[in-house]
Amino acid sequence: MRQVDANTLAALSGSRSGDSLTVWVWYRGRLALPDPLPVSSARFNWDTTRQIQTVSLSVEDKDGKLAPWLLEDPLGAGGSRLQVIYNVGGAGSINVGWYRITDSKPAESWIAYTIDEAGTVTPDTPIAPDKRLAHVSGGASVQVDAEDIGTMLAKAVFPAPESPVGGSPTIIGEVRRLVGDYAPVVTAAGVVDRAVNTTLVYQGDRLNALQDLCKRINCDYRFNGAGQFEVYPLTAQAPVATLKGGPEGLLVRVDREQKYDGLFNEFYAEGQFATVDSAGAQTQLPIRGYAAITAGPLRVDPQGHGRYTKQYSSTMLTTQAECDAYAVTMRDTQLAGLTTDLVVTCLPQPQIQQGDWVQVYNAVVDGRVIAVTGRVKTMSLGFSGGVPDRMVLTVECSYADVQTAFSGASNLSLAGPVNQTGVVVRHPLMPMLFLSPGPFLQPAG
C-alpha cells in the first residue's frame, strides 16, 4: 500500500469532493519547470501480469511553450520524469509514483496576423508591400505517455552474461546490485530473504532477471509512490482496504468473470527410464504418469467440460512412480490454484497498489452480503476535466475462499461427498463446485 497518513485515509473512506492531481516534471534530478503541469486528463493502468506500469496524460499548453522539440525539453523523451501526486479533497496527498516519459505528441495551433513592417516585400504572395505575416501560438495540447522506472531497467540489458557476485550473496542483495542507481530497493513486510545460487547466469533482459530473483523467494516487485523498487510477498496478507456499499461505503458495483482457458482436467507427466540389455547397451524408454479430475464440473466428461490436457516432460523423471506422483501434483496444483476474478468498481482509492490484498463485500441472491478477500490483479483510474473517475479493480480470489464465504452466508446445504481425488463436491447451484482441501503444491522442475 502507498504511504498515507491517518487523516487522509479517513477522508478516503467515504464520499468526498475536490480530488486532484499534481504532476511535477524533473530532469537529471532537478525540477524542469517551476510549476506543475496543466493536466486536463489522465489514465493510469496497473497490472500484476505486466512488468511495466503506465500512465497517459493530456497537457493543455495555453502558451505553446511546453510542446517539445528537443529530447532534453521538459516534455521530451530524453529522460524527463514525472512525479505524480494525488490530492485528496479536504485532506492530504498520496504519492502515486514516478514515471519516465516515453512518448510525447504535441498538437499545436497557430494564428496568422498581417502586421505593418516598413520595407518588407514578400514576392509571389498576396501580402501587400510594407506588410508581413506574423504567426502567434494558439496553444498546444501535448499527449504524454509515461512508464514506471522499470522501463529503464528493461532497456539496460546485460552486455555480457554474468553471475551473482560476493562471498555469500542473497536474493535481495542481488536485486539491489542489479537495480543499481535506477531506484532504491525496499522490502515489504513478509519478505523472507535467502541465499542465492551462485551458479545463476543473467543474460539479456535485466528486468526478467530481477523478476526471476523475486519469484525464487515467492515474491514480486512493484514501484511504490516514492519511486522505490519494492519487493512484496505473494502469500496472503491482511487486507489494506475494505470495499463495501451502503450510505458511507466505497463500493459501486461488483462483477465476476470466468474463463474456459486454462481449466485443465487431465495431466500427463512424461519421463525416461533407462534399461540395459545383455550386451550392456543402454536404451531410454518413455514412461508416462496420468491423473485426472473425476468429479465436479471440471471432471473429464465429453458432455460437460470435455478433455483439457496439460503435459509436462522432463528427463529428471526416471521412474513410473515419479511420473505418477508428478501427474497427481499437477492435478492438485490446478485445483488448489483455481481463482475467480471480481471486477470491482469503487470510489478512487489511490493508496491501493497492484499486489495488495483487499476485502470485498458482495450481495448474493438470498439477500445477504458475503465478504471475500483477494489480491488486486489489475487497477485503472482516470481523470477527466480535473475530476477523478471511478476506480476499477480486478480482485483475484481463491475458489476455496469464495465457497467458504458462500457456505457461511447461505442456508443452502453446499457440502457434498469427498471422492477419491480429494475433491469436495458442492451444491449444483454453485458456479464452480470443487475444492481441493490440501495445501498449494508447487510443481518441481
CATH number reported for the structural domain that contains residue 252 in this entry: 2.40.30
Together in a domain, 206 and 247? no
Strand (E) or helix (H) holding 147: strand 131-148
What per-residue confidence (pLDDT) applies to 405? 76
Together in a domain, 13 and 116? yes
For residue 38, what are the β-bridge partners?
A: none
262-302 pLDDT, tens digit each: 999 999 999 998 888 878 788 889 999 999 999 888 999 99
Total structural domains within the chain? 4
What per-residue confidence (pLDDT) applies to 109? 66
Q: CB-based contacts of 264: which residues, under 8 Å, 6+ apart?
A: 308, 309, 310, 330, 334
Tell me: pLDDT of 427 over 50.
no
Give dist(CA 181, CA 46) in Å, integer: 24
Q: Which amino acid is at 218?
A: N
Together in a domain, 253 and 377? yes
Mean pLDDT of 329-356: 91
Strands (E), 240-302: 241-243, 251-257, 266-276, 282-292
**In a domain? residue 414:** no
8 Å CB contact between 21 and 383: yes
**In a domain? residue 306:** yes
Tell me: pLDDT of 145 over 80.
yes
What per-residue confidence (pLDDT) applies to 402? 81
193-243 pLDDT, tens digit each: 999 988 889 999 999 999 999 999 999 999 999 999 999 999 999 999 999
Mean pLDDT of 17-21: 91
Last-in-domain residue among 113, 131, 148? 148
Tell me: pLDDT of 436 over 60.
no
Together in a domain, 216 and 308? no
Together in a domain, 249 and 395? yes
What per-residue confidence (pLDDT) applies to 430? 31
Together in a domain, 332 and 343? no
**In a domain? residue 421:** no
Q: Range with the lowest mean pLDDT among 344-348, 358-362, 417-421?
A: 417-421
Write the CA distances from 347 to 20, 44, 55, 359, 422, integer angstroms: 14, 15, 19, 15, 41
Last-in-domain residue among 318, 336, 354? 336
* pLDDT cut 70: percent of the chain above it: 87
Together in a domain, 254 and 372? yes
What per-residue confidence (pLDDT) applies to 307? 96
Provide the residue range defining the domain that includes 287: 266-336
What is the number of residues in the chain? 445
What sign has the CA pseudo-torsion 155, 159, 161, 165?
Answer: negative
Mean pLDDT of 423-439: 31
What per-residue confidence (pLDDT) applies to 350? 95
Between 380 and 117, whose confidence is greater?
380
Beta strand 20-27 pairing with 81-87 = antiparallel
Together in a domain, 301 and 359? no
Together in a domain, 28 and 47? yes
What per-residue confidence (pLDDT) applies to 335? 87
Strand (E) or helix (H) holding 8: helix 6-11
Together in a domain, 33 and 83? yes
In CATH, what number is assigned to the domain containing residue 176?
3.55.50.10
Last-in-domain residue among 148, 180, 202? 148
8 Å CB contact between 373 and 4: no
Mean pLDDT of 134-162: 89
What per-residue confidence (pLDDT) applies to 84? 98
Confidence of residue 133 (pLDDT cuts 50, 70, 90): low
**In a domain? residue 381:** yes
Rg, C-alpha atoms of the chain = 29
Confidence of residue 80 (pLDDT cuts 50, 70, 90): very high
Tell me: pLDDT of 395 over 60.
yes
What per-residue confidence (pLDDT) applies to 297? 84
Grid coordinates belonging to 119: 520595407
Q: Which of 383, 388, 378, 391 is nearest to 349 (CA)?
A: 391
What per-residue confidence (pLDDT) applies to 43? 97
What per-residue confidence (pLDDT) applies to 137? 65
Tell me: pLDDT of 103 over 60.
yes
Cβ count near 80 (within 10 Å): 24
Together in a domain, 194 and 297? no
8 Å CB contact between 421 and 331: yes
Average pLDDT, the chain: 85
Together in a domain, 217 and 320? no
Q: Range with the lowest mean pLDDT among 73-87, 249-263, 366-380?
A: 249-263
